[in-house]
Amino acid sequence: EHPMIEFGLQTKGSYEHMQEAKKYLPGGVTANIKHFAPYPVVMDKGKGAWLKDVDGHWYVDYLMGYGSLALGHGHSKIKEAVYDQLMDDGTCLFGTPHKLETAFAKKIMSYYPSIEKVRYTNSGTEATQLAIRLAQVFTGKKRIAKFEGHYHGGYKEMLYSINPPVSEAGLEEAPSPVPESAGVDVDGQEPYILPFNHLKGMEKLLKNHHKELAAVLIEPVQSGFIPADQVFMDRLRELTKKYGVILIYDEVKTGFRSALGGGQEKYQVKPDLTTLGKVIGGGFPIGVVGGRSDILDVSSPDRGADVFEAGAQGKASAKEVLFHSGTYNGHPTILAAGLATISVLEEGYNDVLSFTNELRKGIEEIGRKAGFPLKTCGVGSIFNVIWNQDTLPRHYRDLQKTNTKMRKELDFKLLQSGLYTKPLNRYSISAAHGEEELEFTLKAYEKACESLKG
């Protein structure tokens, strides 16, 4: 017997694998987000919009690598691009400048007019770290502000107030910083926490603290599915400009998803810096920091010596240039996969949006017929299913008031019927989701709702 039996899942193979994995990996996982109770489903392979678990069950995949897989699993164009790069061009890593670095930068800039120069990193986490460092060096200021409920990667400086219990989070208009990890403290260096979609609260905090603030980071659409008000985004741009605070749009999740041009296309706002990741790597690890030339150029080695050529004749000292490096930065195989992804997506993005809209309509209608308050909330190719909500959530505090217990029950019923997303997670749609998947998904929803009624 294994504990998933009570959820009606025949996932004995997953259970046994996790028991084994726990002997070698803390909690049996390589990233905390992969865990869920009683134990996660262990996957064996992916194909198009589908995932197959180690017990042989197939699921329509709505996790899509946490939104990274805009074309689904194993798209032929990505395979070809990777193969060509590996086989024809003879290596997977040059460790030197190469042409794809510039070609990729131009492609990104064609969708993100706020970006004048870019640097590559190996993940979204590294990208937001670099963006923060650039802002600090450029402005000569130290403190950072982030919004309550927003995630910018798994590192000490940003692991505050992502999803704290509301009882610990202070006032809605002036939230308290709440550590989200062991080893993270409120010690006077933590970020200021701004209230998302709360105009007066945001204005007041910026007014009070702008002299210390190097940057404000924001997910323009929180977690990819809770949009900001237009007036809120306009005012944030206006105030950060007025106060000399660098505005960083973290578009790791929203890039090529809220729109091809991300949240900044939706809001028609030009941030000073943008971070990208996920989709643009075609399923491989990548991050990008892009933005104003004058800010990016603080990392330009043209300005002076770098740390490895300290004291080089006639150059400024190393500490005048922001040192940023990485053995794998601008990895040619990943850039090839990313370019292939973007070129397929630019043709197919409207179909992805149509699928998303059909699915959202279908889910809401099935909920209505079953007498369940199911609503969907989202932007572009990401949405979430909200249970028991009169109005749509405007920030994480609203989300905490939704009926997550029923949503979770629904999620386990859906798993049983062959839909995969991590319980309570959002849905990310790919170009591989088509008619067959739509029909299958809506049937699974009907079955799950029937079973919940019973």
Query: Residue 334 or residue 366: which is nearer to ligand PLP going by CB?
Result: 334
Which residues in 64-83 contact ligand PLP (CB under 6 A)? 66
Of these, 147, 151, 196, 267, which contacts ligand PLP (CB under 6 A)? 151
- In the structure, how many helices (H) and strands (E) does the chain have? 13, 16
Q: Which stretch binds ligand PLP (CB under 6 A): 17-25, 122-130, 133-141, 342-350?
A: 122-130
At position 86, the amino acid (one-letter code) is L
Cα–Cα distance for residue pair 123/275, rounded to 1 Å = 10
Site mask for ligand PLP (CB under 6 A), range 13-52, x = bound: ----------------------------------------
Buried b (16+ CB within 10 A) or exposed e, 370-389: eebebbbbbbbbbbbbbbeb
Give the N- to C-terminal CA distance of the chain in Å, as an integer. 25
Q: Which stretch binds ligand PLP (CB under 6 A): 148-156, 161-169, 373-381, 406-414?
A: 148-156
At position 137, the amino acid (one-letter code) is V
Residues shown for the chain: 454
Query: Residue 152 or residue 360: which is nearer to ligand PLP going by CB?
Result: 152
Q: Structure tokens of 26?
A: 């803390």
Based on the shown chain and the rule CB under 6 A, indicate whether residue 219 belongs to the binding site for ligand PLP.
yes
| Residue 170, phi then psi, degrees to nearest 5 | 75, -160
Give strand pairing partners of 428: 382
- Minimum CB separation of residue 323 from ligand PLP in Å reads 20
Query: Residue 124 or residue 380: which is nearer to ligand PLP going by CB?
Result: 124
Tell me the number of residues near ligand PLP by CB under 6 A. 13
Of these, 57, 152, 237, 426, which contacts ligand PLP (CB under 6 A)? 152
Query: Residue 134 or residue 410: which is nearer to ligand PLP going by CB?
Result: 134
- Minimum CB separation of residue 121 from ligand PLP in Å reads 9
- Minimum CB separation of residue 312 from ligand PLP in Å reads 34
Site mask for ligand PLP (CB under 6 A), range 365-404, x = bound: ----------------------------------------
Cα–Cα distance for residue pair 368/220, rounded to 1 Å = 30
Sequence-separated contacts (24+) of 422-427 with Cβ below 8 Å: 422/33, 422/36, 422/40, 422/63, 423/36, 425/62, 425/63, 425/384, 426/67, 426/223, 426/224, 426/225, 426/378, 426/382, 426/383, 426/384, 427/62, 427/359, 427/378, 427/382, 427/383, 427/384, 427/385
- Minimum CB separation of residue 277 from ligand PLP in Å reads 5
Q: Tokens 């998302």 — which residue?
A: 196
Pairing assessment for the beta strands 226-227 and 287-291 based on DSSP bridges: unpaired
- Minimum CB separation of residue 329 from ligand PLP in Å reads 14
Of these, 21, 58, 123, 423, which contacts ligand PLP (CB under 6 A)? 123
Cα–Cα distance for residue pair 454/435, rounded to 1 Å = 29
Longest Cα separation, the chain: 79
Give the residue at shortest CB distance from ligand PLP: 124
DSSP assignments along 141-210, one per residue: --EEEEETT----SSGGG-BSSS--GGGSB-SSSBPP-B-STT---SS-SPEEEPTT-HHHHHHHHHHHT
Query: Residue 33 or residue 103: which is nearer to ligand PLP going by CB?
Result: 33
Q: Which stretch binds ligand PLP (CB under 6 A): 21-29, 94-102, 121-129, 405-413?
A: 121-129
Site mask for ligand PLP (CB under 6 A), range 87-106, x = bound: --------------------
CA distances from 249 to 83, 156, 287, 372 (A): 33, 19, 13, 36
Q: Which stretch binds ligand PLP (CB under 6 A): 79-87, 124-132, 191-199, 260-268?
A: 124-132
- Minimum CB separation of residue 319 from ligand PLP in Å reads 28
At position 98, the amino acid (one-letter code) is H
Q: Which residues contact 67 (CB under 8 A, 6 or more apart)?
A: 224, 253, 257, 278, 279, 382, 426, 428
Q: Which residues contact 368 (CB under 8 A, 6 or more apart)?
A: 374
Of these, 114, 125, 258, 356, which contacts ligand PLP (CB under 6 A)? 125
- Minimum CB separation of residue 173 from ligand PLP in Å reads 24
Query: Residue 330 or residue 367: which is nearer to ligand PLP going by CB?
Result: 330
Which residues in 238-297 contact ligand PLP (CB under 6 A)? 250, 252-253, 277
Query: Residue 255 or residue 332: which is nearer to ligand PLP going by CB?
Result: 255
Torsion of CA 386, 389, 392, 394, to 10 degrees: -100
Query: Residue 50 or residue 66: which is nearer to ligand PLP going by CB?
Result: 66
Query: Residue 193 or residue 410: which is nearer to ligand PLP going by CB?
Result: 193
At position 34, the amino acid (one-letter code) is K
Q: What residues line the site for ligand PLP (CB under 6 A)?
A: 66, 123-125, 128, 151-153, 219, 250, 252-253, 277
